[in-house]
Structure formats: C-alpha cells, structure tokens
Chains A and B, each alone.
Chain A
Amino acid sequence: LAKTTQPISMDSYEGQEVNITCSHNNIATNDYITWYQQFPSQGPRFIIQGYKTKVTNEVASLFIPADRKSSTLSLPRVSLSDTAVYYCLVGSYNNNDMRFGAGTRLTVKP
C-alpha cells in the first residue's frame, strides 16, 4: 500500500492560490490519487481524483507528473471557508484498505 507524505500545515491569505503537494514514492501501477477535505466537526469529503497529468473540477485542480511519485492539489483563490485539513490517499478500486495520513492543515487568513 502506497504511503503518503504531506506537509503538516500551511498558511495562506484570502485570494491566493494554494498548492499542497503529496509524495507517494511507491505508488502502484493501478493506483489512483484521491484528495479529501475535512472541515472541523465534519467527516472528510471527496474533492478530486486522478491518475495522471491534470484533472480539474469546480473546486480544485490536481497535477500529477509523469512518474506519478507525487501529486499537487491546487486551490485557486482561497477564501476563509477553505480552512480545513486536506488528505491525499493512494489506492485502486479493489483496495479496501483506505488509510489516511496525517493530512495538511490549511489555514486561510484574511
């Protein structure tokens, strides 16, 4: 199972772009990369998922280099409400061992 490493915390200001990188050096060929967001007092929720190159949705973009040993979650123009913990997970459809790492605590300041 691919282990992930993320920065423990990050600070940003409203309106800035935030990039959170996750390392997963031993990612397997079938593994996908999924990012979750957790607000205080709530369960984590799905943000974005990808296999390679770039994926974009209404919330974020996910950049995955060719070697897939890392990925970067990009949040455009963050607001105070983006303050949360962000987790990256690596796994495939037949892997039910969904273990979360420590996550990155993002604090957005006014």
Chain B
Amino acid sequence: DTAVSQTPKYLVTQMGNDKSIKCEQNLGHDTMYWYKQDSKKFLKIMFSYNNKELIINETVPNRFSPKSPDKAHLNLHINSLELGDSAVYFCASSRPTGNANTIYFGEGSWLTVV
C-alpha cells in the first residue's frame, strides 16, 4: 500500500496551460506539504498544510494554488504554466514522532513545460 501517492507521475504540457497534481496520504497524518526540486536538485518547500489549514506559503508565484479538501488530500493547481515551472514536485506528509516530526514523501511528479 502506497503511503503518500501523487498523480500523475509524469506530465508534459505546453506553456500557458493549467494543470493539477493530486496527492493523497493514507497515514492519518495531520500535516501535508508540497516541495519543488529543480534541475539543480535543491528541494524547496512550497506549502505546508495542517488539518486543512495553510501553515506555510513560501515565496511561490500565485499561479500555484494548493487545495486541501480534507486532511488526507493536498492538491496542487498551477495556472499559466511557464518553462521555469519544469521540475519534480513532491508531496509529503508528516506526523510527530515522540517530540520530533518525521516526513514521508510521495514518489514525485515530473512536470515538463514545453
């Protein structure tokens, strides 16, 4: 059973299009995240939700809009896609482990904008 699943795994689309990436976790975690990993391999946090509420909204263009219909889902919608949006997008969730947090990642969604 996949703990954090995201779809699609691969997405190739043209500039200007709107696309969504869906994420679901079956771990019962309260917190979910979206990370972006670009060609330089830096893993940057984009958003963090706790119990469906936005906790962290990094310096991300407002073309990116996360939606959390319930605490098991955190979808990412991207409007007016640009070439620079090409990257791997990772969804993740976390739970407290004792006094710390442990993050569980999905397998990633490879977005290519042409």
A residues with CB within 8 A of B: 30-32, 34, 36, 38, 41-46, 49, 51, 85, 87, 89, 91-100, 102-103
Q: Are A98 and B33 in contact (CB under 8 A)?
A: yes
Are A42 and B107 touching (Cβ within 8 A)?
yes
Contact A93 B99 (CB under 8 A): yes
B45 with A99: CB separation less than 8 A: yes
> Does B100 make an interface contact (CB < 8 A)?
yes
Report the Cα distance A98→B45, complex, angstroms. 7
Chain A residues whose CB sits within 8 angstroms of the CB of B33 once the complex forms: 98
Q: A98-B94, A99-B45, A103-B43 are in contact. Are A42 and B100 (CB under 8 A)?
A: no
B residues in contact (CB < 8 Å) with A: 4, 31, 33, 35, 41-45, 48, 50, 55-56, 90, 92, 94, 96-108
Q: Which residues of B contact A97 (CB under 8 A)?
A: 45, 48, 55-56
Contact call B45/A32, Cβ cutoff below 8 A: no
A34 touches B102 (CB 8 A): yes
Q: Sorted from nearest, which 5 A-B pairs have the closest CB atoms?
A: A43-B105, A32-B100, A93-B96, A100-B43, A43-B90
Contacts of B41 in A (CB 8 A): 85, 103
Question: A residues within 8 A CB of B90?
Answer: 43-44
User: Which DSSP category, helix, strand, loop or mixed, fits chain A's interface?
Assistant: loop
A96 to B107, CA, bound (A): 20
Q: A44-B43, A85-B41, A87-B43 are in contact. Are A96 and B48 (CB under 8 A)?
A: yes
